[in-house]
Amino acid sequence: MQQTAVIILAGGSGQRMMGMGNDKVLLPLLGQPAWLYGWQAFETAAIADSYWVAYRDEQQRDALQASLSELSVTKPIHWEAGGAARMDSVYAALAVIPDDFRYVFIHDAARPLITPKALQLLQASVLKNGAAVLARRPKDTLKRVPVNAATGEPLRLEDLDRCRLWAVETPQAFDRRTIIEAYRAVRAKGLSITDDTAALEVIQKAVAIVENPDPNPKLTTPDDIPLLTALLENRN
């Protein structure tokens, strides 16, 4: 049996929330902690055989556990202390997932709008390709500027070919052995990454893009709260 593990990354610092609560993933959206919407999507899609939650500290872990009492979660939950950076938290969770798990989904708890439909599309792709990422095409015209360029000053703007660009999201899904190999290579080279597919680039492995049919923005700043709330209201 090819089991699937789901890693939920909940330990981000939330510094860009400008003091709106101590933990953005626990911020209530329509009366429910933001991160629980992702749980509900995974449960509905029947993706996970077991969950691993990477948390920031014991206080956060207790709060996350308490919030989960509002849901009926059908699969085992494991708790793993995260690291200083996102990549450290991912690796900490990967390191303790048993060998009998074939696939791993990695999801940011701050993306509450992930849908069961998108998860099932991602699952079909990772089963076929061994590595897959949810993504969407950018709609805006994109420009590249010189390194360390300051806004407000005249700059040479370079057009980028929008047809070749994708904005990647989470979850991202992988064969467990491949993603562990990739993260070990990242650590051995002393690299810093903020995206799991970047780890596969280090070992020159291809990743399938799955175009997400539904909005899946991340809760990053206070300005995101009205948008997320409106999208959840529309879905309901």
Query: Which residue is associated with the tokens 């650590």?
Result: 187
What average pLDDT does the structure give for the chain? 93
- pLDDT confidence of residue 1: 60
Give the CA radius of gyration of the chain: 18
Question: What's the whole-number mean pLDDT along residues 115-123?
Answer: 98
- The CB density around residue 24, as the number of other CB atoms within 10 Å, is 25
* Residue 228 DSSP class: H
* Residue 227 DSSP class: H
CA 1, CA 35: separation in Å to the nearest integer? 29
Using the predicted structure, report yes or no on whether residue 212 has a pLDDT greater than 90.
Answer: yes
- pLDDT confidence of residue 112: 98
- Say if CB 201 and CB 153 are below 8 A apart: no
Classify 148 as helix, strand or coil.
coil
Q: Which fold has domain 3-138+168-235?
A: Spore Coat Polysaccharide Biosynthesis Protein SpsA; Chain A (3.90.550)
- pLDDT confidence of residue 20: 57
Which residues, at least 6 apart from 72, have a Cβ–Cβ distance to it below 8 Å?
Answer: 43
Classify 234 as helix, strand or coil.
helix
Question: What's the whole-number mean pLDDT along residues 160-167?
Answer: 93
Question: What's the whole-number mean pLDDT along residues 14-31?
Answer: 75
CA distance to 63, 143, 181, per residue, from 161 (Å): 44, 9, 32
pLDDT digits (tens, 9 = 90+) for 57-95: 999 999 999 999 878 888 999 999 999 999 999 999 999
Nearest to 173 by CA among 209, 218, 223: 209
Using the predicted structure, report yes or no on whether residue 15 has a pLDDT greater than 80.
Answer: no
- Read off the pLDDT band of 19 (50, 70, 90): low
Using the predicted structure, report yes or no on whether residue 160 has a pLDDT greater than 60.
Answer: yes
- Which residues partner with 89 through β-bridges? none
Using the predicted structure, report yes or no on whether residue 208 has a pLDDT greater than 80.
Answer: yes
Using the predicted structure, report yes or no on whether residue 158 has a pLDDT greater than 50.
Answer: yes
- Read off the pLDDT band of 18 (50, 70, 90): very low
Using the predicted structure, report yes or no on whether residue 120 has a pLDDT greater than 60.
Answer: yes
- The CB density around residue 194, as the number of other CB atoms within 10 Å, is 8
> What residue segments make up the domains of the chain, in order of their start?
3-138+168-235
CA 49, CA 37: separation in Å to the nearest integer? 18
- Say if CB 109 and CB 194 are below 8 A apart: no
Higher-scoring residue by pLDDT: 147, 96: 96
pTM for the model: 0.94
- Say if CB 52 and CB 9 are below 8 A apart: no
Higher-scoring residue by pLDDT: 151, 104: 104
**143-144 and 131-136 beta bridge pairing:** unpaired
CA 17, CA 180: separation in Å to the nearest integer? 31
Which residues, at least 6 apart from 41, have a Cβ–Cβ distance to it below 8 Å?
Answer: 114, 115, 116, 119
Token pair of 43, please?
Answer: 């449960």
